[in-house]
Structure 1
Amino acid sequence: MADYDFSRLLLQMQSFRASDEAREQFVSELLAKYQNLAEEHANLKNDYLSERDIRRNYQRTVDEKQSVVGDYERQLESSSFVLALIDGDGAIFQDALLQAAAGDGGSEAASRLYHAIRDHVASQYNKSGNWPVMVQIYLSLDKLAVKLATVGLLRSPQELRAFAQRFSVNQPLFSIIDVGQGKERADHKIKEMLRTFSDNPTCRHIIFGGCHDAGYLLNLEHFKHNMLKASRITLLETTPAYRGFTDLANFKRARFDDVFRSEPLPEHISPPSNGFGYMSVQSPAQSSPQPLVRTITNNTSTSPTMTPRTSVASPSPSATPVSAATTTGSNGDSSWATVGKTGAPANGSISIAPTTATTKKNSKKKYAYYNKAEQRLDEPLPSKDPAAAASLEARMKKVGKKMCNHWHLGGYCENGNFCGFQHEPKLTPAERNALRYKTRSLACKNRYCENIDCYLGHQCALERDQGYCPYPENCHLRSTHGMDRVKYVRYDKDGNADYAP
């Protein structure tokens, strides 16, 4: 019996030993798997941090390139102009203008032509209000002067030179260019100018006044199938156009009947009407008719329409732009966040940390929101009180100093009594909210800002709330236009993250 019990105990001990070995093996496997997972996690974390840095660098590069492209676009817009190339041997000014050549006929002709071109270009483009107009009229001055005097439109050939001088003086970019005697000298100049400026991106539109001469058809022929280039050229018809020009598709067409004759010059002198050997002259200044621009569509079945000249002005927004609002009542500083020089004594620092009661009252937890690209997003501010905003502006205007953003919005100013901005008296909650609107209109330099209390702007509020910004060129936050506005993650002050579902 005792031997039997010993054997049973021995078997149990072996069983226990096997169980211990299995448990030890299991624990060893768990530890090995944990070690592998920890190493894999560390590698993935390093890869994620590396990818994040690469993405941020890439985004930063994209932002820089977009800024450069924006600068180029603004430079292109600022240097853009409209060019009119006119063959003056065939495009003849109105009789009344030429008959007043000794007076203000040339000046009146330039003024009429300027407004006619501006009105025509304004009807084709939305942003033509600021484009300068350059006019180059090429002609054989002496030859044309003799012809005009012969048919009675000038008292003497010398008057055409006075006409040309006053024409050029009226507008700084207007010129009547004498090509001298010789066949097709004006044609050669105009063809070369057309070739040069048709590929110039700063030349936004060309008015071509040579439809009376079939010699220009070959130069326009290679444009007719290029819709982009053809749409940037207007064929100006004065006297009846040569038949080949009516077959050119995709070109704009116009007539400036208040500036140029619609019929060729007569072959012989007209009979005098005042008994002194030349036609009666009416001063253009007395009549001062409004220029008429007749825009001709490519549909030959419809008659041209006459459009009275209206003033062309660059559009101005009905509301003050965001960028302009930041400077109202200021002393010219570029930033509301600018404070006085640093380095104030430690005893000059002042704190207005909230009291315990205030802390309990404002115990709502703060978060910083980000999109998937980890770009900072801004929460909408409470509605602005117009009276409080007006009070804030009046106070700054009266004192001649801006508000200290660090003091009124952050609760602390390291410059203390040496700060060059206003600290006292304290702002009301409504005035403080109005100040937040001002600071939000200024862009934070860090698109990935992690300062949860940052009061600068990280995205355009107009684009966020309205879907678009009406001031794309002047907005201080234009670099954020088009950014992803969807909240993806938020962080509290302790760095805890909550991800959007």
Structure 2
Amino acid sequence: MTSSPYFERYRQLKAVDQQKNQLIEDLLQRVSDLETSFAQEKLDHERETRFNRDIQVHEMELMQQIAQIKIIMDREPFVVVLLDGEGMIFKDEYLQAGDKGGRCAADQLYGAIHSYLKANLPNANTPKIMMKIYLDAKGFGELCARNKVFADPAAIYDFIRGFNETMSCSEIVDVGSGNNSAYNKIQESFQVFLYNCHCHQIFVGCPSNTDYALFLEDISRDNDLTGRVSLMEGVAFEKDLDEVKASYRIARFPDVFRSEKMVPVRAPTPWKPSLPTRSILTPSPSAQFSSMANAPALSRTSTNTSTSGVPLSASTPVQQDSASEFQKVVRSKPSSSAPPPKTVERNKYGQRVDKLDFKSIPRDDLNRLKKLKLCNYYFLLGECPNDDYCYHDHDRKLTKEELHILTAIARMTPCRFGLECDDAECIYGHRCPQSEPGKKTCFRGDSCRFEPIAHGIDTNVVKVTKI
């Protein structure tokens, strides 16, 4: 027998051994990989366990801090009452009683607010009440004297002294006769207290004017803030505030405050009579006054002016020019050449247009000029019919751009003659500035100050009426 078969058998056995050894090596490598993975997983698990434990400890610490902060926030709770004395007027019996009346008014107001808080804000746990009333003491005293509340205007200071001496957190602040002084102070104080965690409620009492309406309208856009504010109504809200009051809680204290305005009595100036009604100050078509002997000429072409020594009233007769359906106005300064006629722009429907792009005016500049309380008559027409008795600013120097913005502000007040107005110098609005052509509404909806017909006006000028 040859050796070849043995060699063949040996090679077969050797191949089997190699396969066996390779299998053992593969198994050992697999075990090694699994051990490494297990060790890594074990390490990760231990790390996760430590992390979760740390997070739980940190969460407990945070909850304790929150509880401590909540305790701090609940300390010394208070409510703030910010009142503008022009719109919130104490009843006559308090004003007439001087020092004693001031004390009684402070006590009655404090008690009324405390009862209101219990009924409407039960979660407010007996907070302190801080009351601040801002007014022009001298001007208000004169107003009371003119309305026969008391004879001496200085008597108002006795009332203020009594009010201020009653409670440490309540006071009447004399803001002086500056334009918008009370509004500015109330606005700044409001912003300070609005985000104060200790302040549980802010009461705002104010007159119905555009400044307060815009300010409260901005606040009402944030639903989280309106619950912190209550409007206090003394003199009944007029249209400006009546449109925004639905967003707030309304508080009324008829036993403390008057529900009617005091009549503003204004003395006539030497060169023009008193203006008894607001209708005289609203825009109207240009008209020529009845001819009078030795009557001086008007100083400008506007129905807002009057002749010296001639009583101006809503029933003043006018002369109709037979050559034209429109009125003419006598100029005070003769010129060598006739001035160009005034014009009123109208669309194809004959509606007054008053081309003015409100969207191009920066809102910040618009709001800034509104706060200045400028006299529209003085700056836009060159003369104020109220003269020394006007409550608006006449002294500021305006740029050309500011005059343009003031024109837009004046156009936001509706003209009582609407789209048919023929007064070329009328400074008021004849179409809603917020309405786009073709759209019969604006974003204000039914609360818009302009009539429905003043919306969606076609602004393409196709003809001009000469005045």
| TM-score (normalised: structure 2) | 0.47
| TM-score (normalised: structure 1) | 0.44
